[in-house]
Amino acid sequence: QVQLVQSGAEMKNPGASVKVSCKASGYTFTSFGVSWVRQAPGQGLEWMGWISAYNGNTNYAQKLQGRVTMTTDTSTSTAYMELRSLRSDDTAVYYCARDRGGYCTGGSCPGWFDSWGQGTLVIVSS
């Protein structure tokens, strides 16, 4: 069965970086994309960005441009999300999700998240 397993909780100081991993299994990793979604405490879902596991193309949410980098390692079917210059309002649960858009993110390409990781809590505090 499709499974996404994320790395464990992290506590970081303001200004530091965090890198969260998401190991996929149960499907052909390069046939799909991976989106990252975060959720601040008591708040809604915020889409952070997408990466094609096929060719490594990325699209990021405008508000995170310049601070976020998404990568994949196809040899281990693992996706990574690095967020830099952390602030207290980056405190959230970070989810990876299998994105049906494997090659593109336009409306003519599928764009739903049909499997999710368990979430990784990142706390930013001094």
In angstroms, what is the C-alpha Rg of the chain?
14
**For residues 54-83, which are near another protein according to CB under 8 A?**
59, 61-62
Shortest Å, Cβ 2 to another protein: 12
The yes or no reply on residue 101 touching another protein (CB under 8 A) is: yes
What is the distance between the alpha carbons of residues 103 and 109, in angstroms, rounded to a whole number?
A: 8
Nearest C-alpha neighbor of 51 from the set 70, 38, 69? 70
Nearest C-alpha neighbor of 51 from the set 28, 69, 24, 77? 69
The yes or no reply on residue 91 touching another protein (CB under 8 A) is: no
**For residues 24-53, which are near another protein according to CB under 8 A?**
35, 37, 44-47, 50
The yes or no reply on residue 8 touching another protein (CB under 8 A) is: no
Phi, psi angle pair for 116, to nearest 5°: -125, 150
Residues at the site binding another protein, with contacts judged by CB under 8 A: 35, 37, 44-47, 50, 59, 61-62, 95, 97, 100-101, 105-107, 109-114, 116-119
